[in-house]
Structure 1
Amino acid sequence: VMKNGTVAYPMLLGRPWLRRVHARNYWNEGFMTLGRGRERVKINVIPRHHKAEPVDSSDET
């Protein structure tokens, strides 16, 4: 999600760009980092209010 003032919108990033900016994914923790060293920034990829729901295996067909 890209924030612009008070507005936020989803954004899809391609693999070449992610490689170029040295992206690292930490999906279990809900964030990713971009950049290296002092230039590194942390971005939340899962909204803080989002909670995963358990999957009922009996629902699978």
Structure 2
Amino acid sequence: MPSGWTIRRAGAHHVTALFHVRTQVRENAMSMEGLAATGVTPEAVSAMLAASPCAFVAE
């Protein structure tokens, strides 16, 4: 990893950005509606992040 990067746990305040990145990928693309149909919603992700360190962000 290039120097100057910081990796830390993602929190509820990152959920909007996580969904933005997830819905912008080209491979395995999914829309917000598609994610919601599988149970992946901002509320569900916020609950997962609160319960366990299961996602990280790099800045």
TM-score (norm 1): 0.24
More helix by share: 2
Higher-Rg structure is 1
More strand by share: 1
Query: 1 or 2 for the larger relative contact order (CA 8 Å, sep ≥6)?
Result: 2
